[in-house]
Amino acid sequence: MTTLKPLLFAMGLGAGASAAAAELPPLREVEEIDRNMLWAAIAIEVSDECPTLEARKLKGLNFLWGLKRQASSMGYSDAQIRSYVESDAEEARIRRLGESYVRRAGFDPKTEAGLCAFGRAEIARGSLIGSFLRSTR
């Protein structure tokens, strides 16, 4: 799955941490954040790899801003959010989860054809992933 780093960098995450924020569980353990990051990452990967589908960029960026606001409202500092988003280990973990999700849906996450078919299926079923994509044909 493609990294979310460029999109989240555009969100202007700054530094700063609080003592209370340090006691929070890692963001990877906060399902409402982590799972939604997975859906966004899958949609980005599909749009990057499938020439007949493109990302709904404004919708996606607004969604990611919402996740950042949600994490901030839970007490996470910008530094903690940045650390989660910029972590190579987290990126690799999200990639593995995304590939597994696409595979469980019955598609090959390693091929253009598989990702295109998966993306079209997600659009057709009206999933969150599908809502981030649109057909160019």
pLDDT of residue 16: 41
Q: How far apart are CA 6 and CA 119, in angstroms?
A: 22
**pLDDT single digits (tens) 79-107:** 999 999 999 999 999 999 999 999 999 99
Which element (helix H / strand E) includes 55? strand 53-55
Whether the Cβ atoms of residue 20 and residue 80 lie closer than 8 Å to each other: no
Pick from 46, 52, 55: nearest CA to 102: 46
Predicted TM-score of the model (pTM): 0.84
pLDDT digits (tens, 9 = 90+) for 20-75: 545 899 999 999 999 999 999 999 999 999 999 999 999 999 999 999 999 999 99
Considering only CA atoms, give the Rg of the chain.
15
Range of 41's domain?
5-135
**How many domains in the chain?**
1
